[in-house]
A and B are shown apart, each in its own frame.
Chain A
Amino acid sequence: MTSAVTFQRVSRHYGSVRAVDEVDLDIAEGEFFAMLGPSGSGKTTSLRLIAGFEQPTKGHIEIFGQTAEGIPPYRRNVNTVFQDYALFPHLNVIDNVAYGLMVRGVPRAERTKAAEEALALVQLPGYGARRPGQLSGGQRQRVALARALINQPKVLLLDEPLGALDLKLREQMQEELKTLQKSLGITFVFVTHDQGEALSMADRIAVFNHGRIVQTGTPEEIYTKPVSRFVADFVGSSNVLPPELVERLTGNSRWASLRPEMLKMSLKASNGAMPARVVSTNYLGSTTRIALDMEGLRLHATVAAGTAVPAMDETVYLSFDRDRLHLMDDER
């Protein structure tokens, strides 16, 4: 498979701040790729390096095999959906969408037709005459998407595009974006700090922290086999077990992660089961999430709806399949 975007030891420093620090990255063509991390972790800067708004301090970037450093954004066949959408307030929706064709000198009739098609693609037909100020957040988001797609980019960059939408709309847009990406076959690079969004949408995820990529992999790999405490903490709500405990259980003095749904609870003591006290229970609809205190260690377990839920302050006995314990890279 061809690479859409590659980073070779790319760094972007601002004075002494290392926003992006020696990052290696390889995004395949046609992939839905998510950059996940807390704010200030370097994911947005990486996106801006691909778009051309930033230049690497060191390292080498290729887009479809071509050197990208020194190429201004307006000469890269890469388009961006901005976090604040950045719709031009002085233009109506049609002219916003057709902007990319206008600056390339496409005649008005032709570009209006293309813009209308693009609006239909994002399910906003007939909205062309409106001003961005007259649209809802979700509609602006769709216009921004249509505007970015009209230039037929080889890579579409999305900077937290769903961040400003409410939950219901967000879930709907997640599905639509995913479907759109598959039908267009364009490489999508998606920046988000929402792990649920990354897991549900992406083909592959790169987890960023402190300007570096700490793990790259499929959602399943990231979820079930986090390489470090940071990933385990940040992606989902894994239980992180300290080396002393892990050594007792497996003989390995390493940090380990355990998904909450892997933790089994029983009201009766049994061989090898560890006692813990129920601290709180949270009803989440399809599951109930239970917070437990085991000798000062905070753990979480989930039980499916319909199963019995232990009461507050009750003592339960915890056990799990040893195979499910995932050992991580961090040494003590």
Chain B
Amino acid sequence: MRSDRQTSAPLGLKLAAAGGLLFLHLPILLIFVYAFTTEDKSYQWPPPGFTLKWLGVTWSRPDVWQALGLSVRVATISTAVALVLGTLCAAAVSRSRFFGREAVSLLVILPIALPGIITGISLRSAFSIAEIPFSTWTIVLGHATFCVVIVYNNAVARFRRTSGSLIEASMDLGADGFQTFRYVILPNIGTALLAGGMLAFALSFDEVIVTTFTAGQQQTLPIWMLEELVRPRQRPVTNVVAMVVVLVTLLPILAAFYLTRDGDQVAGAGK
């Protein structure tokens, strides 16, 4: 609803909206408090005291570093694969009309439209049928599949906004297909791809449902956290890890928002 008139909202609506937003944010802020609590056996509130000790303890934990390393590796490779596949698909779908175009966009969206558990168990049973042993690559196979749609959505939105006559203008002025791609298409979709890549990274970094099926004995950071959630052993370390995870995912999302802020469709609207 657009209106230039500055109408003020009814008080009830303001309170309901503010309450809703608080409901969304307070639990996450709570994590930050717990990361510094001195209590290490239970989730006692209010915290009996505050300490920076657990930061150091977490820092010296090799299992946390290992899980973090695997998560970063998986997210990086998956993002790279998703960038290539998502961009190709978006370019094909938005630059030409062909038979089955709708089917292609449906196929891209499917992995995120169906519950993650379906993707997970499908891949798991396929691995066991094909006798593929679990490795970093089996995790990547799953992650890249649902990251494609993130890149695809961002790229398609940008392609839609980029006038088709720009490409014609470039060719008209003497640039062949490759030059047009390098000098016109890439600069115009660059920020959208960057934003899509960051969101894909954040999504992969955080993914747990599909990963539980494709990781085998390996631990990504979310899997490490899941184990702690099911069987709490080191509560203070988990608190710190949770805080770090929030901060690490926050940055790419803010960056993606900044990169696409003046667009008609802001990044991430379709997680």
**Contact with B172, one of A79, A84, A102, A104 (Cβ below 8 angstroms):** A79
Residue on A nearest B166 in the bound complex, by CB: A86
**Contact with B169, one of A78, A80, A90 (Cβ below 8 angstroms):** A80
Q: How far is the CA of A99 from the CA of B174 in the complex (A)?
A: 9
B173 adjacent to chain A (CB < 8 Å): yes
B3 adjacent to chain A (CB < 8 Å): no
Interface residues of chain A, those whose CB is within 8 Å of chain B, are: 51-53, 72-75, 78-80, 82-84, 86-90, 99-100, 102-104, 147-148, 151
Once the chains bind, are A82 and B188 in contact (CB under 8 Å)?
Answer: no
Known: A74-B171, A80-B172. A103 touches B179 (CB 8 A): yes
CB-defined contacts of B179 to chain A, threshold 8 Å: 74, 103
Once the chains bind, are A86 and B165 in contact (CB under 8 Å)?
Answer: yes
The proximity string for B residues 155-188 relative to A, scoring 1 for CB distances below 8 Å and 0 otherwise, is 0000000010110111111111001000110011
CB-defined contacts of A74 to chain B, threshold 8 Å: 171-176, 179
Once the chains bind, are B184 and A88 in contact (CB under 8 Å)?
Answer: yes
Interface residues on B, range: 10 to 19
Once the chains bind, are B171 and A147 in contact (CB under 8 Å)?
Answer: no
Once the chains bind, are A73 and B172 in contact (CB under 8 Å)?
Answer: yes
Residue on A nearest B168 in the bound complex, by CB: A53
CB-defined contacts of A53 to chain B, threshold 8 Å: 168, 171-172
Q: How far is the CA of A73 from the CA of B176 in the complex (A)?
A: 9
Once the chains bind, are A99 and B165 in contact (CB under 8 Å)?
Answer: no
Once the chains bind, are B188 and A99 in contact (CB under 8 Å)?
Answer: no
Once the chains bind, are A73 and B183 in contact (CB under 8 Å)?
Answer: no
Q: Beyond A100-B173, A102-B183: 19 further Cβ-contacts under 8 Å?
A: A52-B171, A53-B172, A74-B172, A74-B176, A79-B172, A80-B172, A82-B165, A82-B168, A82-B169, A86-B165, A88-B170, A89-B188, A100-B174, A103-B175, A103-B176, A103-B179, A104-B174, A147-B173, A148-B172
Q: How far is the CA of A89 from the CA of B169 in the complex (A)?
A: 12
Once the chains bind, are A99 and B183 in contact (CB under 8 Å)?
Answer: yes
Min CB–CB distance B97 → chain A (angstroms): 11
Residue on B nearest A78 in the bound complex, by CB: B172
Interface residues of chain B, those whose CB is within 8 Å of chain A, are: 163, 165-166, 168-176, 179, 183-184, 187-188
Min CB–CB distance B162 → chain A (angstroms): 8
18 A-B residue pairs with CB within 8 Å: A52-B171, A73-B168, A73-B171, A74-B173, A74-B174, A74-B179, A78-B172, A82-B168, A84-B165, A86-B165, A86-B166, A88-B170, A99-B173, A99-B175, A99-B183, A100-B173, A103-B175, A103-B179
Q: How far is the CA of A78 from the CA of B172 in the complex (A)?
A: 7
Min CB–CB distance B177 → chain A (angstroms): 8
Q: How far is the CA of A75 from the CA of B175 in the complex (A)?
A: 9
Q: How far is the CA of A72 from the CA of B168 in the complex (A)?
A: 11
Residue on B nearest A89 in the bound complex, by CB: B188
CB-defined contacts of B165 to chain A, threshold 8 Å: 82-84, 86
Most A CB contacts (10 A, CB to CB) among B163, B173, B184 go to B173
Once the chains bind, are B173 and A84 in contact (CB under 8 Å)?
Answer: no
Q: How far is the CA of A83 from the CA of B184 in the complex (A)?
A: 19
Once the chains bind, are A103 and B172 in contact (CB under 8 Å)?
Answer: no
**Contact with A103, one of B166, B173, B188 (Cβ below 8 angstroms):** B173
Once the chains bind, are A72 and B173 in contact (CB under 8 Å)?
Answer: no
Of all A-B residue pairs in the complex, the 9 with the closest CB atoms, nearest first, are A100-B173, A86-B169, A86-B165, A103-B175, A73-B171, A90-B187, A80-B172, A74-B171, A103-B179
Known: A74-B171, A103-B183. A88 touches B176 (CB 8 A): no
CB-defined contacts of B163 to chain A, threshold 8 Å: 84, 86
Min CB–CB distance A53 → chain B (angstroms): 5
Most A CB contacts (10 A, CB to CB) among B163, B166, B171 go to B171
